[in-house]
Structure 1
Amino acid sequence: MAAKTAFSEEELSQLLSHYSLGKYIDSIPFTSGTVQTNIRLQTTQGQFVFRYYENRTVDSVLFETNLLLYLKDHHYPCPAPLRNIHGTLVGIHKQKPYVMFEFIEGQHIQEPTERQHKQLIQKVAELHNLTANYTPVHQEYRWNYSIELCRALAQQASKRINTATSLEKLSWLDNELLRLELPESLPKGICHADFNFSNVLFQNDEFRTLLDFDDANYTFLLFDLVGLIESRAWRYDKDTTLNFNEAKKVLSEYMRYRPLSSVERKHLFDVYKLSILFDCVWYFNRGDAADFFEKRKIDFLNRSGRKAFYQELFPC
C-alpha cells in the first residue's frame, strides 16, 4: 500500500470536492505495500483513505467496490467504499481509477499470536460462507484462478522471457496442469488471495478488519484455505515438505465455521497443486528448469499422491 504516485494538497483538495467528506486538512501516504497508492486523508469531518489504482481497470475496481459493499451489508469486517456526490463509487484521475474508503483504526501485527491466527482463519471461513452464493459484478475483469488462466499466464511469461529454461518450465507446468482433477461441483466463491498480516488490522487483540481486496477473485473456495495452510505448515527449506500436523490444525479451525464437503476434501490436493503452479507463474524467471522451488513442492505432493494426502489430513 505504498504511495507510487505523489499528490499535491491542491490535487487532493480537488478530489475531495467530489465528496461530502469535509475539507482537506492533511494527508499521510501509507508506506507499506508494493502495488497501489494509498493515502490517509484528514478532513474537517474525520479521516478517510484515498486509494489510487496504478494497474487496474475501472471494471476491475468495480468488482472490488461492489464486493465490499456486499460484505459490509452482511456485517463483514472490511473497509467500506464511499460514494461521491454523484452517487458513484469509482472516480477517474489522469486516466486511472480511484476510490475513497472509510478509515478503520487498528494495528498491523508482525508476529501474530496463536489466537490471532485462529481469528484470521475464522474470518476467512466467514468470508467463504458469505460469498458461496454471491454473484460477483464484473467478474470477468479479475484473474479468477483456474487451470485455463494458469496456462494462459504461463504461456505469456514463457514468451516474454523467451529462453530455453522458460520453454522447459512451460512444458513441465502444462503437464502438471493436465494431471489436476477439479470437478465442476467444487464450491466457488470469493477468495481474498492475500492473507499477509499486513492486510489485517487488530485492536486490543481482537480482529478488526481485513484490508486490500486487490487480488480477490471468484474461484474455488479451497484456494484461500490452501493459503492459510501454506503460511503455517509448509517448510521453506531445501527438503521442502508439508507439516501435516500443522495443516490439520488449520483445517480443524477452519471447519469449525465452514465444514468441507466430501468433494472438497477429496480435491484439496489438486487445488493445492494449482496454487503452487500459480506461484510458479508469478516467479517464472526464478531457478533452473530442472530444479526450482515450486517444482520441489509439486514433486513432494506427487510423491505423496492424492490418496495419501487425503488420508493424512482427513484420517477419520
Structure 2
Amino acid sequence: MALKTEFSESELAQILANYNLEKYIDATPFTNGTVQTNIKIKTSKGQYVFRYYENRTVNSVSFETNFLRYLKDHNFPCPAPFKNKYGSYVGIHKQKPYVIFEYMEGQHIKEPNENQKKQLIQKTAVLHHISKNYTPIYIEDRWNYSIELCRDLAQQASKRINTSNSKEKLSWLENELLKLNLPKSLPMGICHADFNFSNILYKDDQFNALLDFDDANYTYLLFDLVVLIESWAWRHDVDKLLNMEEAKEIIIEYSKHRRLSDIEKKHLFDVYKLSILIDCVWYFERGDVKDFYEKRKIDYLDQIGRELFYQELFC
C-alpha cells in the first residue's frame, strides 16, 4: 500500500485551502507505490494527486517539482505540480513536504506489448533530449548515480552491517569501481531511473504519462537506457543471459529519437556495470561475498568483455 501516513478529511481540506483548486469533496488512497503516500483528491474543480513525501527533504522534492515543471513546459507527458497561494510547489505538513500534482488518466500495464514498449523507449529518448539542456537546482540534494556515490553508500552500508562478509563485499565492490572507465565527456542529464510498470500510464494503447520522479537524478544519460535493457533484455530467471538481439533492438529504437555519440557507445559497458554495482548497494546484505546475484552479473559481463559487448550491440 502507498498509504504510509493517514490523513483525515479535515486535514486534507485544510491542505487544499492553500490552493486555488476550489472545495474539497473526497479522497481515495492509491494502492500502487511503496515509499511515499499518494492520495487521489476530488474537488469541485477536478481531480488531483496529493503526494506526501515520507523520506525526502524539501530541497530534494524541489529538485523534482522544478524539473517536472520544465518537462511540462516542453510538452513532455508527465504530471504538472501546482503552486500554492504562496507561490511554492512544495508545502509542509507535520515537518514533511508534500506536493499537489495534476491527475493523469490511464492504466498501468504489467506486460506491455511491443508497440507500448517502443513508446516508452521513444519517450525516454525525448526525456533525455529535453534534459540535456536543463540546469537542475538542488542537485546536491539527490543521489546522483556515479562512482563516488556508489562507493560512499557501500562504505556506509558495510559500516552499518559490520560483518566480515560486508567488509569483504565492500572490498570487492571498490575494486570493481576502479575498473570502470567513465570519462567526463560522457553526456549527462536528468534520468528517471525507475521504469517500473506502476510508474507508466497508457490510455487507449498509447503512452499517456511517466510518473514518480522520486529516484530521478543527474547522471549519465545512458543510465536510463541501461534500465530499459535490463528490463527487457536481461533474463533475470537464469542470472547469466543478456539477449544481445533484444538489447540491440532497444538501442536502435532509442537512437531513432536521440542519437548516441561514439563515446556513449564505447562506454555503455561501463555504465551497465555501474548500474549493477549500485543495485548491489541497495541489496548489500543479500548473499555471500563468494557468490551473490550482482557478482554473477558482473562476472558474466566480464566474460563477454568490453570489445565483444560493443561489437554485438553497435557493429
| Residue 86 (structure 1) aligns with | 86
Q: How far did residue 235 of structure 1 move?
A: 1.2
Measured on the aligned residues, the alpha-carbon RMSD in Å equals 0.8
| Residue 248 (structure 2) aligns with | 248
| Residue 4 (structure 2) aligns with | 4
Q: How far did residue 24 of structure 1 move?
A: 1.0
Q: Deviations over 1:186-236 (max 9, x none)?
A: 000010000011100011001000000000000000000000000111111
User: Given residue 99 of structure 2, which amino acid in structure 1 is its aligned partner?
Assistant: V
| Residue 156 (structure 1) aligns with | 156
SS of residue in 1 equivalent to 2:277: helix
SS of residue in 2 equivalent to 1:236: coil
User: Given residue 107 of structure 1, which amino acid in structure 2 is its aligned partner?
Assistant: Q
| Residue 46 (structure 2) aligns with | 46
Q: How far did residue 179 of structure 1 move?
A: 0.2
What is the correspondence of 1:249-288 to structure 2 with a 5 Å cutoff? 249-288=249-288
| Residue 187 (structure 1) aligns with | 187
| Structure 2 residue ranges without an equivalent (≥5) | none
Q: How far did residue 33 of structure 1 move?
A: 1.1
SS of residue in 1 equivalent to 2:257: coil
- Distance in 1 (CA, whole Å) between partners of 2:24 and 2:199 is 26
Relative to structure 1, the CA distance from residue 174 to residue 226 in structure 2 (aligned partners, 3 Å threshold; closer, same or farther) is same
User: Given residue 252 of structure 1, which amino acid in structure 2 is its aligned partner?
Assistant: I
SS of residue in 2 equivalent to 1:28: strand
- Distance in 2 (CA, whole Å) between partners of 1:127 and 1:222 is 12
Residue 37 (structure 1) aligned with residue 37 (structure 2): yes
- Distance in 1 (CA, whole Å) between partners of 2:5 and 2:254 is 39
| Residue 74 (structure 1) aligns with | 74
Aligned 8 A contact 2:61 2:90 in 1: yes
Q: Deviations over 1:238-279 (max 9, x none)?
A: 451211011001001100101110000000000000000000
- Distance in 2 (CA, whole Å) between partners of 1:53 and 1:251 is 34
User: Given residue 291 of structure 1, which amino acid in structure 2 is its aligned partner?
Assistant: D
Q: Deviations over 1:2-27 (max 9, x none)?
A: 11000000100000010010111110
- Which 4+ residue blocks in structure 1 deviate beyond 6 angstroms? none
Residue 308 (structure 1) aligned with residue 308 (structure 2): yes
- Distance in 2 (CA, whole Å) between partners of 1:148 and 1:66 is 25
SS of residue in 1 equivalent to 2:201: strand
Aligned 8 A contact 2:131 2:190 in 1: yes
- Distance in 2 (CA, whole Å) between partners of 1:258 and 1:20 is 39
| Residue 135 (structure 2) aligns with | 135
Q: How far did residue 109 of structure 1 move?
A: 0.8
- Corresponding pairs, count: 315
- Distance in 1 (CA, whole Å) between partners of 2:239 and 2:120 is 28
- Distance in 1 (CA, whole Å) between partners of 2:98 and 2:262 is 42
- Distance in 1 (CA, whole Å) between partners of 2:238 and 2:29 is 39
Residue 121 (structure 1) aligned with residue 132 (structure 2): no
SS of residue in 2 equivalent to 1:170: helix
- Distance in 2 (CA, whole Å) between partners of 1:126 and 1:278 is 25
- Distance in 2 (CA, whole Å) between partners of 1:254 and 1:26 is 41
- Distance in 2 (CA, whole Å) between partners of 1:49 and 1:235 is 35
| Structure 1 residue ranges without an equivalent (≥5) | none
| Residue 204 (structure 1) aligns with | 204
User: Given residue 241 of structure 1, which amino acid in structure 2 is its aligned partner?
Assistant: L
Q: Deviations over 1:30-64 (max 9, x none)?
A: 01111000000011111010000000000000000
